[in-house]
A and B are shown apart, each in its own frame.
Chain A
């Protein structure tokens, strides 16, 4: 547990330190270095936590303040939580490195804000107390909104909508917490898991919390704020928002329905989630296909891809088979990495090609091959074609569906989603293979940031080589 807490405390300390180091209006050059280095250390600690948890296979608890349950806030560390801590640190490291290199220079407030975002995600992952989770959700949303605002006045309107919807969502979640506390008198998830009943009040509380979390997690049909906010944010921020921020509420939603909710209610809810997932895949994919701008395309693809996660959750609740939990979390990991790559590539393209439009990608394979490869590999993972992490995730979702004939509607939903994803990804990639326009040379060509955009895509590609082992390992990790 101390390793996990170190992984949380390091970005927290760095956030305060970087704020203290803001002297004049110009940026302090050591701030990015400190932040990136600390993120790397935090990643190492998360790795150590994962190693301890995965080897022992155990769940550790910590009652904050040393008080006994259910009075204390309880922190809970499972192998999956340790894995997610590492994932959060890794994505922060990748985007941090990119932001360090970024030209023009990113606003100096990016560093403390991203460190606070890292802190809030780590706190969210570790917490096992439904009220403490509310506080972490507040932290998460506020830091995300402030990060979107870094783009300047053009981002203020989307950021304001994001803030208002997010506050509404917090309120929904909080009302649900109030009803549960009124009903059962405790806030500790591990205690609640044993005593929740499928009565009217519990049902309403769970629905309120679900609505709030789906709004924050941009899960269909409550995703409307996402495309604008993700499009107008600075590039590294878009990557963080798509790769991590929407996954936080998803993680709470998963715990809520998988661990807390009475099984009867969960079974009722499953098909609704799964159906929402299919609609998200198709409608999000269609909007991505029609998107005029590169970043809008990538943002709508997040809406679509979250459909897979929602499907995984729905099928897990409905059919109660562990393999869907594996599929869900493989999706989250693969999508996070692929989306970071795609947003960084999209940002690079905007700077290098001097246009935000998808049509500007014409001939990109010749002018900016590395960036284009990043975009393409990430895209292939999003479609779910081998050999990528996206394929592994989709395979674990599809394989059990194929074995039983009466599951054909869900299987065809997944396949339909695949076609739509393929359509929007190939629309962009195909443009890249056209003859490059003869005009101007790309401006300030930074090889390092192009490789930084490619790196996550390569990682997600590598996931496939672990194949069956990874699926088996994930099955162990998602047990608890």
Chain B
């Protein structure tokens, strides 16, 4: 019953987000859609996806979209979906075909998940999702971190313009100062928890970024600039560590990203920690980085 309600509300929110008369309304509904989607993932016993969806899908994407809306000229804000009916028909057709072709696979069992269990001892962590992300399919994750870096570089190339943030009200200021240490602690916990349960670099990084963005909006953090070595190091260190591990294992070890079993826990922890720093720095810059900050 609850699931049915969540499903129906999700569809309603999606339709509302597409057809809303203002972009602001669309974004608000999209944000709500993301939060409810996180609940849906949690109901489906996928806590990792739920955390990621809440932090990145709803939180960060929402912040990025509101930021973009704030910078858009008025004629863009009035823009609405054209030909909603034909778009809906095309999407419905693709969806129908997709469902029909996925139906026969409902009773198929993939040989991959059973393979994970027996190899957990050798993986260096106790949580299967983290083992898949950082060890069994670590190469995908390495490249995904590079995708995040490229997203930042893409924004950097675009020279986003500076829009002054409004003066913070005192309540927000007070709250953000109280929340900041809590966010750091929770972020650290999420990172650490990744080895045993749902959590990990992406979730922790997104949370830390949210905290940093909040502090930036309230003018608590000092100015950040691309020319600061420390900032560039924070953005690059995750990828650099991962790549160093890959090159080192290929040159001196058993092969590309083959962790020596005695060190796999330490290596995964090092990669996760540095990746958290990089993800937090990159996401903060994506939301808050502006023309001058990214260029000089």
A-B contact pairs, 29 of them (CB 8 A): A2-B251, A9-B247, A9-B250, A16-B243, A19-B232, A24-B296, A64-B137, A65-B135, A65-B139, A67-B135, A70-B111, A72-B137, A75-B256, A109-B153, A113-B157, A119-B146, A131-B140, A139-B150, A149-B154, A175-B94, A179-B101, A182-B108, A183-B104, A185-B111, A186-B111, A200-B104, A201-B101, A204-B97, A204-B98
A62 to B110, CA, bound (A): 22
Q: How many A-B residue pairs have CB under 8 A?
A: 157
Tell me if B105 counts as interface (CB < 8 A to partner A): yes
Q: Which of B151, B235, B246 has the most CB of A within 10 A?
A: B246
Q: List which B32-62 residues lie within 8 A (CB) of chain A.
A: none
A142 adjacent to B150 (CB under 8 Å): yes
With known contacts A22-B232, A64-B138, A185–B110 Cβ distance under 8 A = yes
| B101 and A200 contact, CB distance less than 8 A | yes
Residues in B neighbouring A200, C-beta threshold 8 A: 100-101, 104
Q: Is the CB of A71 within 8 A of B119?
A: yes
Q: In the complex, what residues of A have CB within 8 A of residue B135's CB?
A: 65, 67
Contacts of A181 in B (CB 8 A): 110
B 223-255 binary contact with A (CB < 8 Å = 1; else 0): 000110000110110011001001100110011
In the complex, which residues 74-112 of chain B have their Cβ closer than 8 Å to any Cβ of chain A? 94, 97-98, 100-102, 104-105, 108-112
A203 nearest in chain B by CB position: B101
CB closest chain-A residue, reference B244:
A13
A112 touches B153 (CB 8 A): yes
B232 interface neighbour in A20, A142, A204, Cβ under 8 Å: A20
Point out the residues of chain B lying under 8 angstroms from A300, CB to CB.
none
Of B110, B239, B256, which is within 8 A of A16 by CB? B239
Tell me the count of chain A residues lying within 8 A, CB to CB, of chain B: 59
Residues of A within 8 A of B202 (CB): none
Q: A39 at interface (Cβ–Cβ under 8 A)?
A: no
Is the pair B140, A132 in contact by a Cβ cutoff of 8 Å?
yes
Instruction: Report if B19 contacts A (CB, 8 A).
Output: no
Residues from chain A with Cβ under 8 Å of B240 in the complex: 16
Contact with A along B208-227 (1 / 0, CB 8 A): 00000000000000000011
Does B259 interact with chain A (Cβ within 8 Å)?
A: yes
| In the complex, A25 has a CB within 8 A of chain B | yes
Q: Are B151 and A2 in contact (CB under 8 A)?
A: no
Q: Are A65 and B258 in contact (CB under 8 A)?
A: yes
Query: A65 touching B136 by the CB < 8 A rule?
Result: yes
* Candidate in B104, B149, B157, B250 with the most chain A CB atoms within 10 angstroms: B157
Nearest A residue to B232 via CB reads A20
Q: Is A448 an interface residue (CB 8 A)?
A: no
Q: How far is the CA of A317 from the CA of B239 in the complex (A)?
A: 40
Chain B: minimal CB distance from A448 (Å): 27
**Does B165 have its Cβ within 8 Å of any Cβ on chain A?**
no
**Does B121 have its Cβ within 8 Å of any Cβ on chain A?**
no
| A150 interface contact, C-beta 8 A | yes
Partner of B139, one of A113, A132, A145, A178: A132
Q: A179 with B98: in contact, given A16-B236, A71-B115 (CB under 8 Å)?
A: yes
Nearest 8 Cβ contacts at the A-B interface: A185-B110, A182-B105, A66-B258, A201-B101, A146-B154, A25-B296, A142-B150, A204-B101
Q: Is B295 an interface residue (CB 8 A)?
A: yes
The verdict on A146 contacting B150 (CB below 8 Å), with A131-B140, A185-B112 known, is yes
Q: Is B266 interfacial (CB 8 A cutoff)?
A: no
